[in-house]
Structures are given as C-alpha cells and as structure tokens.
Amino acid sequence: DGGITQSPKYLFRKEGQNVTLSCEQNLNHDAMYWYRQDPGQGLRLIYYSQIVNDFQKGDIAEGYSVSREKKESFPLTVTSAQKNPTAFYLCAVRGGGENSPLHFGNGTRLTVT
Amino acid sequence: SQKIEQNSEALNIQEGKTATLTCNYTNYSPAYLQWYRQDPGRGPVFLLLIRENEKEKRKERLKVTFDTTLKQSLFHITASQPADSATYLCALDRASGYSTLTFGKGTMLLVSP
C-alpha cells in the first residue's frame, strides 16, 4: 500500500444493493484508477481519473460509478446493475510524470450473494 | 484487438535456479513495458520498467529484456529463493501523459527449497 488505503478488506452484500468501496491516498498523486481482478483473469480497468472532478470510463465501466471530489479520494460504487459484482477490486494511483508505475492498494474483496 | 499473453501454467523451479517468465503481445506498439509482483490477497507491486529503445534492464537479481521485433519481454530472476514465489504480471503502456496500463493475466512462480 504505502499511502493508499482501501477499505474494507472484505465486504459482503446482498444482491440488489449498491455498495461503495473506499480508496484514499496521501501520495499527492493526480491520477487514480480502479481495476477489477477475477480468478485467472488479468486486471481490467473500470474507471480512472486524471484530475479532480474529472474521470473516464475504462474497459468495463457498466454497472459502476465513481466520483472525484477530492484529490485524495476516489470511491467506487458497485451498483445493482453490475451483473457479476463478486470480485477483487484494486485501487491504484500514478504520479511522478510520464509512464511512471502504478502504486496499488491492497484491495477489497467483494462478495455478493 | 490488443492482446497480452503470459504463460497461464505455473512455473515450478528449484531454489538457486534462474526463473524466466515470458510476456508476448500482439496488435500493440508499446513505448514502455512494466513488470509487477503480486502476492495472494494483495495489490501488485512494481518491479521494473523498460523502454522500447532499451534492450535490457537489471535490478539486483532481476533482469528484463524487451524485443520489439519479436513483440516479447522476458523476465528473469537469478538465484531464485522461495520468497520469490508469487504471481508476476506484465503491463504495457503507451507514451505520453497518464495513459492507462493494460495487464497480462500473470504467471505464478513457485520456488521450492
């Protein structure tokens, strides 16, 4: 993690409920990302934000929403419209110039039953 | 469409040997390639970045090569240790700004004593 906090570590919800995953950073980086990871799958980009009050859809944005009201925070809401929400969700930040590496949080494992 | 391939089968080697992991890509012209390590239940951790005009990059026991003609990167861990056991992900980037990273599915490395 190193300055990126995802909470909670484990989250359980009933089908049909919206749920919000938290991601906070104290690295003062501009860009923040949400990825989803499923067993045997690579990381898939959900949403990303390069600056406060602006964000872009990634490859699998359907059923998710985000906000970026503060530089430090980039919460992800998994809505009831997401067909298969059970997954491992990873938040990452990126700063320091062109093509600098991603710094990831330790993830939230969401289980929807 | 762009595709990144990493060997889905786990690589099993003995302690002290050199581990070599492969990352192949198609329909892509990345300016940079990055390697990450991921332990179970945790977020990926950045290891090395190599640029398209670099043939090889080293960091302690790690070595990465990048062959843009073959569209392939090789990741080597010399004198491997059981603590090196993890999943290793390659990620491709494009030049300029806060472009997004596309990740391979990763290869699990198991180093036995």
Nearest CB partner across the interface for B42, out of A33, A45, A106: A106
Name the least confident of A92-96, A101-105, B47-51: A92-96
Q: Are residues B104 and A42, on separate chains, in Cβ contact within 8 Å?
A: yes
- Chain A contact probe: residue of B2, B32, B93, B100 with most A CBs at under 10 A: B100
Q: How confident is the model at residue A95 (pLDDT cuts 50, 70, 90)?
A: confident
Q: Are residues A99 and B105, on separate chains, in Cβ contact within 8 Å?
A: no
Report pLDDT for B27. 84
Q: How far apart are the first and last CA of chain B?
A: 41
For residue A1, is pLDDT > 70? no
**Beta-carbon pairs below 8 A across chains A and B:** 60
Closest CA–CA distance from residue A89 to any residue of chain B (Å): 9
How far apart, in whole angstroms, are the C-alpha atoms of residue A51 and residue A65? 16
* Chain B residue nearest residue A46, CA to CA: B100
Report pLDDT for A9. 95
Query: Would you call A31 an interface residue with chain B, using a CB distance cutoff of 8 Å?
Result: yes
For residue B96, is pLDDT > 80? no
At B87, list the tokens: 């999943």
Q: Are residues A104 and B34, on separate chains, in Cβ contact within 8 Å?
A: no
Report pLDDT for A99. 73
For residue A97, is pLDDT > 80? no
Q: Are residues A109 and B41, on separate chains, in Cβ contact within 8 Å?
A: yes
Question: Looking at beta carbons, which pairs linking B43-50 to residues 24 or more positions away fall under 8 Å?
Answer: B43/A1, B43/A4, B43/A90, B43/A92, B43/A104, B43/A105, B43/A106, B43/A107, B44/A43, B44/A90, B44/A102, B44/A104, B44/B89, B45/A104, B46/A101, B46/A102, B46/A103, B47/B88, B48/B75, B49/A99, B49/A101
Q: Read off the pLDDT of residues B10-23 as tens digits, 9 standing for 90 and up.
A: 999 999 999 999 99
Q: Are residues A99 and B4, on separate chains, in Cβ contact within 8 Å?
A: no
Closest CA–CA distance from residue B104 to any residue of chain A (Å): 5
For residue A76, is pLDDT > 70? yes
Q: Are residues A42 and B42, on separate chains, in Cβ contact within 8 Å?
A: no
* Residues B78, B11, B48, A31, Cα dihedral to 10°: -160
